[in-house]
Amino acid sequence: MKLWGGRFTKETDELVHSFNASLPFDKRLYPYDIKGSIVHAEMLVKQGILKVEEGEQIIKGLEEIREEIDKGQLQFDYKYEDIHSFIEAHLIEKIGPVGGKLHTGRSRNDQVALDIRLYLRDEIRNIQELLLLFKQDLLLLAEKYKDIYMPGYTHLQRAQAVTLAHHLMAYYFKFKRDYERLTDNLKRVNVLPLGAGALAGTSYPLDREYVADRLGFASVTENSLDAVSDRDFILEFHSIAATIITHLSSLSEEIILWASNEFNFIELDDAYSTGSSIMPQKKNPDIAELVRGKTGRIYGNLVQLFTTLKGLPLAYNKDMQEDKEGVFDTIDTLKIILQIYPEMMKTMKIKKENMYQACRKGFLNATDLADYLSKKGLPFRRAHEIVGQAVLYCLENKMELEELDYRKYQELFPAEKELFAADLNKYLALEYTVENKVVIGGTAVTETARIIDRERKWLEDRLVFLNR
């Protein structure tokens, strides 16, 4: 059953039909397709293009179809090519030939562009909401773990001590930027393409601004060729999704490391880990691994759409039907991850003592010792050299920097003897090395607390808005 049979004398080959069709996947756009059609019909009546009774019949028919699909009374029949044909054919079946007037001044090309924008707009808001909730949980965890010390790493080598709160807040900020990226993406998504027709606009006196207003769009597209060929708002979304999963994948990698015997910083809750079919002792961080693994498909969907769009001439080309499955997959994947992840993090047990002990080995206070010396006027380069030699001495003697007495330092470095004072060890204590970094964005508990406070307000403002 086709919308375009008039010019043809032969039926489409069956395999060709299924290859050409998008109904098996674009069926999920039905609420958006119907919503757009209802407003289009309203506008056609308002403009005198349809009679009031015609409009009423069409709208009532569309509402009934929506309800029937919602309730599972109307099944998708794959003899139809796409969601647009399916709904239009059912409308005509239901209300007769007047249903054929709905498509006046419209093409499937601007219709599908409308549907995907309506869908993406909803889902971006859903993902933003999930991100906000996740960020709220990260903030609560940061508050709870505000004075748990742990090693901070560079090159996965112990570098300087931080707090677990500070570490978690690093992810908080990554997800905050992702949230803001989505807000920005919405500006490009939230533009009405309907009215562009097949590619050239239409000679009907459509009121596009009315339609935009009724559908909650902030503006209307201003070039019909662009309106039906633009999918860059989806490329932008894919790129943001890829950034979000990159952040989640890094966090997952840390959780996997932390849960290992080698780190032994956390234990995942039973509900968020799995066992081995052969090794009875195993408790595997499958969820974190799978999130890391799903990164591949989300990057893949980004590259797929870029490749599909590359080299397409204006305006609509059937290639563009391939814009949907990737975006559906990316959205489904992100949404399930963002629902599971906060709980996994909230339920994991923190092995505070192990994190603390890990800070005591590996010379995490070496930079603090160099700062101690350079604050007394020694050029930092020379201070760096001295501490390097002190580390070497400690390695050979199986000691830590804070275990050497200041007199030992004086003996080792006679030229800088007067710089080492009796209070030296105070400056090398773990607590001190974390707490003295009061610079904006530093590790001090007071600084992290200040940021947490401010971010709580940022979150509250947005959560109120979302719980509309």
- Residues serving a catalytic function are 155, 276
The full 3-state SS of 404-451, as one line of letters, equals CCHHHHHHHCHHHHHHCCCCHHHHHCHHHHHHCCCCCCCCCHHHHHHH
Work out how close the CB of 119 gets to ligand ARG at its nearest, in angstroms, rounded to a whole number: 12
Reference 182, options 136, 137, 123, 133; nearest CA is 123
CB closer to ligand ARG, 117 vs 146:
117
Work out how close the CB of 110 gets to ligand ARG at its nearest, in angstroms, rounded to a whole number: 9
Please tell me the distance from the alpha carbon of residue 430 to that of residue 160, in angstroms, as a whole number.
Answer: 10
Q: Please choose, out of 72-80, 230-238, 314-322, 423-431, the segment that lies near ligand ARG by the rule CB under 6 A.
A: 314-322
User: Applying CB under 6 A, does 230 fall inside the site for ligand ARG?
Assistant: no
Work out how close the CB of 186 gets to ligand ARG at its nearest, in angstroms, rounded to a whole number: 22
| CB 413 within 8 Å of CB 376 | no
User: Applying CB under 6 A, does 321 fall inside the site for ligand ARG?
Assistant: yes
- Which amino acid is residue 213, in one-letter code? D
Please tell me the distance from the alpha carbon of residue 387 to that of residue 242, in angstroms, as a whole number.
Answer: 42
Work out how close the CB of 157 gets to ligand ARG at its nearest, in angstroms, rounded to a whole number: 51
Q: Please choose, out of 90-98, 104-112, 263-271, 362-370, the segment that lies near ligand ARG by the rule CB under 6 A.
A: 104-112
Pick one of 57, 109, 224, 448: the residue that binds ligand ARG (CB under 6 A). Answer: 109
- Chain-centre distance for alpha carbon 270: 26
Work out how close the CB of 222 gets to ligand ARG at its nearest, in angstroms, rounded to a whole number: 21
Work out how close the CB of 12 gets to ligand ARG at its nearest, in angstroms, rounded to a whole number: 13
Work out how close the CB of 65 gets to ligand ARG at its nearest, in angstroms, rounded to a whole number: 18
Binding pattern to ligand ARG, positions 53-72, x when CB under 6 A? --------------------
Please tell me the distance from the alpha carbon of residue 208 to that of residue 106, in angstroms, as a whole number.
Answer: 12
Pick one of 82, 123, 178, 402: the residue that binds ligand ARG (CB under 6 A). Answer: 82
Pick one of 22, 229, 330, 448: the residue that binds ligand ARG (CB under 6 A). Answer: 22
Pick one of 39, 87, 112, 162: the residue that binds ligand ARG (CB under 6 A). Answer: 112
Alpha carbon distances (Å) from 390 to 5, 366, 405, 425: 86, 9, 12, 14
User: Applying CB under 6 A, does 229 fall inside the site for ligand ARG?
Assistant: no
User: Applying CB under 6 A, does 320 fall inside the site for ligand ARG?
Assistant: yes
Reference 186, options 132, 237, 243; nearest CA is 237
Burial class for 414, CB neighbours closer than 10 Å (0-12, 13-18, 19+):
exposed
- Which amino acid is residue 18, in one-letter code? S
Helix 108-144 and helix 445-466, axial crossing angle in degrees, nearest 10: 140
Please tell me the distance from the alpha carbon of residue 91 to that of residue 61, in angstroms, as a whole number.
Answer: 6
Please tell me the distance from the alpha carbon of residue 145 to that of residue 455, in angstroms, as a whole number.
Answer: 16
Please tell me the distance from the alpha carbon of residue 409 to that of residue 370, in angstroms, as a whole number.
Answer: 13
User: Applying CB under 6 A, does 108 fall inside the site for ligand ARG?
Assistant: yes
Q: Please choose, out of 202-210, 275-283, 316-324, 404-412, the segment that lies near ligand ARG by the rule CB under 6 A.
A: 316-324
Please tell me the distance from the alpha carbon of residue 268 to that of residue 259, in angstroms, as a whole number.
Answer: 7
Binders in 265-304 for ligand ARG, by CB under 6 A: none
CB closer to ligand ARG, 33 vs 402:
33
Positions that interact with ligand ARG (CB under 6 A): 22, 26, 82, 108-109, 112, 316, 318, 320-321
